[in-house]
Amino acid sequence: MTRVVVLGAGVSGHTAALYLKKKLGRAHEVVVVSPNSKWNWIPSNIWVGVGRMSATKVVFPLAPIYRRTGIDFRQAKAVGILPEGDADDPRGAVDVVSTAPGTVGRTERIRYDYLINATGPKLNFAATPGLGPDGGFTASVCTPGHAVDAAGRLAATIEKLKAGIRQTLVIGVGHGSCTCEGAAFEYAFNVEHELRAAGVRDRADVLYLSNEHELGDFGVGGMTFSTRDGQVTSEKWMASLFRERGIRAIVQAAPTEIDADTITYRQIDGSTSTQHYDFAMLLPPFGGVGLTATDRAGVDITSKIFAPSGFMRVDADYRPRPFEEWTAADWPRTYQNPEYGNIFGVGIAFAPPHQISRPYATPDGLAIAAAPPRTGMPSGAMGKVVALTIADMILTGATVPTRSASMSEMAAACIASTGTGLFRGTAAAMAMSPIVPDYSKFPSTGRNAKETTGDIGLAAHWVKRMLHTAFIYKAKALPFWWLIPE
Ligand SMILES: Cc1cc2nc3c(=O)[nH]c(=O)nc-3n(C[C@H](O)[C@H](O)[C@H](O)COP(=O)(O)OP(=O)(O)OC[C@H]3O[C@@H](n4cnc5c(N)ncnc54)[C@H](O)[C@@H]3O)c2cc1C
């Protein structure tokens, strides 16, 4: 019996585990290790964060799903990988620490034949002093708990506005190297929508603070959309949305320090500025979750398997080169670790080979560069192809990966909510193909002009709401779940 261990039960890990079990049946073991007992549909945390959805609607317990599907679930946190095993057993192993009630802190060494690292990001609030809700001053919507806290702070701000007290709300990123600007954009527009709904918009200043070089960059170097009115850049499209909603944007910015009511930030011209706030939601930068790796002799080989960021090295071209020399072909296709062929890294956990957006820095070298996003759609697709590759290796004896899903070939759709409500909601629907621009195939913009589109309206909000229901249905492994695409 072969054992596949999946670290992480988020979008990519949970998808991988479900496909593995579907393919492998009872003949082989699938073990999922994840510290949280619940699955979270993270995109809908935005609606929890404005008080329009309860946290219970974006989570469900994993154990019953895994019991029903025959997946062995360990509520635990992985801390170290032993790709060559130890003196007792040459199979690979992973050291985990239990987070389950009753056994918290208990350690276990789990052997594997194949390992998928889908541990997502470490939310690195410590990167900027004063950032984050736990020990800092700003709100976050990265977890359901953070989003509930953000909703409470927003409600208190709206109460002050109702009492006639002007308020400044700052939404964006909390560090120069952040990714996920799309989520900050969504939250800014949802907050603005709520302020209007509460009848207090005229007393509120809403600011968007971002490390993007220009609006609409989103860490993918921006997009050129085909719209009903012809081609338009995402920068122009976003600038018009921001103008329409009266949201002031500060871009090319890296927050460096935050206190109870002031954000200090630097910009790429080298200047330092301060911004007062009454309410702030700033996303943290992401890093790897800090797994270590050790060889059979007990020697630390973490740097062989993981990049300095903590993300896992996979089949990408990591050779350092100037930005102009990076190509779409540098991006990974199979997510296999080059050192150990039975280890794969998917979703946010794999190390991107380079920036997609041109990286900028202040004259004295402070990086202000939107990092490449790995959104839900590609994360799910990677989880699926790696699961199918491993199933092929186990069931047909394949010795090399049989499937691929490169972000430089994959299209992605992103529907960014700009306000919720059955009849008054809106969303910006953006599609790009491919995610990483490929100038060898599409010399002018790097992307297929017909398949890179942008549209905004109520219909897109309905699609976003339907996706919430569809993805939770799929994640619950309800009948025919595999028919719902990633
Ligand atoms: C506020 C917000 C809104 C977003 N909105 C959108 C959106 O609208 N559309 C979109 O496409 N994407 C969106 N994203 C991005 C999307 O959430 C990610 O692309 C997706 O979650 C990545 O999947 P993942 O499996 O790599 O990581 P995650 O989903 O974060 O899963 C990681 C898993 O690993 C577990 N884990 C962590 N450490 C360990 C450890 N040491 N050992 C074992 N397990 C561990 C975690 O508990 C979790 O289960 C949003 C992100 C945020 C923060």
User: What's the pLDDT tens digit per position in 244-281?
Assistant: 999 999 999 999 999 999 999 999 999 999 999 999 99
Compute the distance from residue 349 Cα to the ligand 1 centre, in Å. Answer: 9
Compute the distance from residue 54 Cα to the ligand 1 centre, in Å. Answer: 19
Ligand 1 pocket check for 141: Cβ under 6 Å: yes
pLDDT at residue 406 is higher than 90: yes
Calculate mean pLDDT across residues 135-153: 98
Closest CA to 314 of 295, 333, 292: 333
Calculate mean pLDDT across residues 399-414: 93
Ligand 1 pocket check for 11: Cβ under 6 Å: yes
Ligand 1 pocket check for 289: Cβ under 6 Å: yes
pLDDT at residue 350, rounded to an integer:
98
What is the Cα–Cα distance from 260 to 298, expressed in whole angstroms? 46
pLDDT at residue 438 is higher than 90: yes
pLDDT at residue 250, rounded to an integer:
98
pLDDT at residue 19, rounded to an integer:
98
Start-end of H helices in 131-253: 144-162, 181-197, 234-245
Tens of pLDDT, residue by residue over 332-369, are 999 999 999 999 999 999 999 999 999 999 999 999 99
Tens of pLDDT, residue by residue over 440-464, are 999 999 999 889 988 887 877 888 8
pLDDT at residue 51 is higher than 90: yes
Amino acid at 387: A
Calculate mean pLDDT across residues 279-302: 97
pLDDT at residue 442, rounded to an integer:
95
pLDDT at residue 429, rounded to an integer:
84
Q: Tokens 């469900």 identify what position?
A: 60
Percentage with pLDDT > 70 across the chain = 100
Q: What domains are there in the chain, each with its CATH number? A: 3-123+289-357+374-396 (3.50.50.60)
Compute the distance from residue 165 Cα to the ligand 1 centre, in Å. Answer: 37
Which two three-digit tokens encode residue 329?
A: 């072909």
Ligand 1 pocket check for 374: Cβ under 6 Å: yes
Calculate mean pLDDT across residues 86-91: 95
Residue whose Cα lies nearest atom 3 of ligand 1: it is 43
Ligand 1 pocket check for 17: Cβ under 6 Å: no
Compute the distance from residue 153 Cα to the ligand 1 centre, in Å. Answer: 24
Compute the distance from residue 31 Cα to the ligand 1 centre, in Å. Answer: 19
Ligand 1 pocket check for 465: Cβ under 6 Å: no
Compute the distance from residue 10 Cα to the ligand 1 centre, in Å. Answer: 5
Ligand 1 pocket check for 426: Cβ under 6 Å: no
pLDDT at residue 316, rounded to an integer:
98
Strand partners, 170: 207, 280
